[in-house]
Chain A
Amino acid sequence: MIEQEIKPLAADAPNVLEVSHISKSFGAVTALVDVSLKVKRGEVLALVGDNGAGKSTLIKILSGFHQPDTGTMLSNGEETRFASPRDARARGIETVYQDLALIGDLSIYHNMFLGREQRKRFLGLNLLDNKKMRKLSRQYLDTLGISIPDVNNTVDLLSGGQRQCVAVARSIYSSPSILILDEPLAALGVRESAHVLGLIQNLRRQREVSVIMIVHNYNQIFEVCDRINFLHAGEIVLDASTSETTEEELIRVVKSGLGKNAISAAAAAAEGRAAPQPH
């Protein structure tokens, strides 16, 4: 077995996405307060936080689904505003939502190409080129190391892990610069999670796609992520690199009563010192 080295993140890797001082409210509910976040090229960033912390709102802003009330976004250094998910996609940001948006009754290869079907002209008609889509899907899944016995099978026959992999494969087919994954491991068993984590590792190995993922399991964070952003009550209270933080430190920060204290705790954690107890 050839174990390939994971390329370390280049120290001078440019920021592919940089959001600054973003706030968002829905009526009386404040979802995000002055959030700033950066993602470097090829970096895998974990977004963690409790339910209602604002993770979903944040990624929905990044993917163009919601628009921020205030704040700026820089995509590859240029200031941008996403009016719709289509805009974000045009900027190379693909999102895999939790429901995966796979069509159970369609074959895997049709799912891979849904919305960007390959077609051929026949007797003046624009018909689906199923043969080509089948072949390209097969090849593409192979290069990603996703084992799917038959791309002709309908998606409802796949396991949760395989579905997640197909959804991720579909999203990176258009070579995005950023892939956003909303709880890619949520409903998966241990082996299936391993499968999806393997796929993310592959992306990381190449360092061509930046990944922002919402995750809950700390083991998994340390396995595949370069950096962690911890969201609490709409604020990012911790921004730490996984290579400079240990799992215990992270857990301590999370438990240590969040708020302003946590930021100093986070800074301490990021520097590799023991975080001071808040009380």
Chain B
Amino acid sequence: MMNVDLQNNNLKRPPVAQTPGQRLATLLSRYPEASIAVVAIVLVIYFQVASNGGFLSTQFMSVVLRDTSRLAVVAAAEVMLMITGEIDLSLSSTFSLAPYMMVLASIVWGVPLWLGAIGGVGLGVLVGFVNGFITVRFRVPSLITTVGTLFLLQGIVVSIYNSQPIVAPVEEPFNSIFGESLYDPLASFMSSHIITAFTPFLWSLVVILVLAGALAKTRFGLHTVATGSNMVGSREIGIRTDRIKIYNFMIAGGLAAFAGVLNTMEFSSADPLAGSPFLTLQAIAAAVIGGTSLLGGSGTLIGAMIGAFVVSSLNNGLVMVGAQATTSDIYLGAAIVAAMVLNVQVDRLRTRKRK
């Protein structure tokens, strides 16, 4: 055998004793969701105790999980883009525009909501394509491209109908399947309507699981990671990196539109200002504290989901235990900075021997 001969120049390194820090870093890099999961559990316990059991009530959880779902879907969109090394700040505008067009089409032309929703998601995909195309073809950084489309689309959606919110028509079962809550806290706990209190959350769970599966188990997912990790190398191997990026922009646009539809059904109203840029920033925050780095090449959708839950728990829970509503921003801001430092340090510790 040939490998026998290689023994003399075989570079088997003597086993290097890992420091506890390195071992922890290796663990954290393998399961980047771990740290945020611990934070989430601690938060739930804290709020549950501080609110005398009110936090985990069906009613309150319904609110927290609705906020979570909205953030999680947009955060999932950002995670996919962040893995390829891009970002989309225009998602909040798509979030407003898509359902607004859906409701408008229903009222003006009598288009059924389900068809309008498909059209709205299609519109989001188209916006994503435009963002992606401008970014890769004209080599404009996506941060700039999407700040442009953020204002452009926001301007369009408020000028369509004098920035008036429009009441959404009710076309059951569409409304309750996609976010309207039929849950009545006073009704029997066993009422089948209880599930409608959580439909947006279930939808976000579907989105997260499908994307996580695609990322880990498909060629598209592999090429997405490769593109973000080493674009030049990916090209030399023959991966169409431009196409991969555009696809991810399209996925992101479609998801933002879908989140907007859920939101509109939840409030039974299409508000042209439903998605403020703050929504996108909170979603990016959720992605980052969930363990996705802004540097490209890695990211976790499960982490983004838990991150979204932590952000919504902070927003709602702190108010519940009597803090000022604005206090949560202090925690959130600190958490983002800490998470980013942690992400970078974990990676450095893990690969210290090599860099």
Interface residues of A, Cβ cutoff 8 Å to B: 1-4, 85-86, 97, 99-106, 110, 114-115, 117, 119, 125-128, 130, 142-145, 147, 156-159, 161-162, 191-192, 194-195, 197-198, 202, 205
Contacts and interface: CB of A to CB of B under 8 A. Distances in A.
B186 interface: no
A-B pairs, top 7 by smallest CB distance, nearest first, are A145-B3, A101-B233, A105-B229, A145-B6, A105-B297, A194-B9, A101-B236
Most buried by A among B221, B228, B237, B353: B237
Interface string B1-25: 1111111111111000000000000
Interface residues of B, number: 36
B6 A128 contact: no
A246 B173 CA distance: 86
Interface in B93-107: none
B325 interface: no
A208 B353 CA distance: 36
B226 interface: yes
A78 to B, nearest CB: 24
10 contacts: A3-B5, A100-B233, A115-B239, A128-B219, A145-B6, A147-B11, A157-B351, A194-B9, A198-B9, A202-B5
Contacts of A4: 2, 5
A195 B11 contact: yes
A2 B228 CA distance: 45
A147 B12 contact: yes
Contacts of B233: 99-103
A61 B12 CA distance: 37
A126 B220 CA distance: 10
A106 B11 contact: no
A202 B2 contact: yes
A106 B239 contact: no
B192 to A, nearest CB: 29
Interface string B32-57: 00000000000000000000000000
Contacts of A143: 2-3
A105 B298 contact: yes
A17 to B, nearest CB: 21
B4 A1 contact: yes
A101 B229 contact: no
B164 interface: no
Given A1-B7, A104-B229, A159-B13, 17 more contacts: A99-B233, A103-B226, A103-B229, A104-B230, A105-B229, A106-B222, A119-B219, A125-B218, A128-B222, A143-B2, A145-B10, A158-B354, A191-B11, A194-B11, A195-B9, A198-B5, A198-B10
B9 A197 contact: yes
A162 B298 CA distance: 22
Interface in B325-355: 350-351, 353-354
Given A101-B232, A103-B230, A128-B222, A1 B5 contact: yes
Contacts of B226: 103, 105-106, 114
A2 B229 contact: no
B239 A114 contact: yes
Nearest to B355: A156
Contacts of A145: 1-3, 5-6, 10
Interface in B272-312: 297-298
Contacts of A125: 218
Given A126-B219, A162-B11, A195-B9, A144 B229 contact: no
B11 to A, nearest CB: 5
A144 B5 CA distance: 11
Most buried by A among B5, B11, B12, B236: B11
B225 interface: yes
A279 B125 CA distance: 73
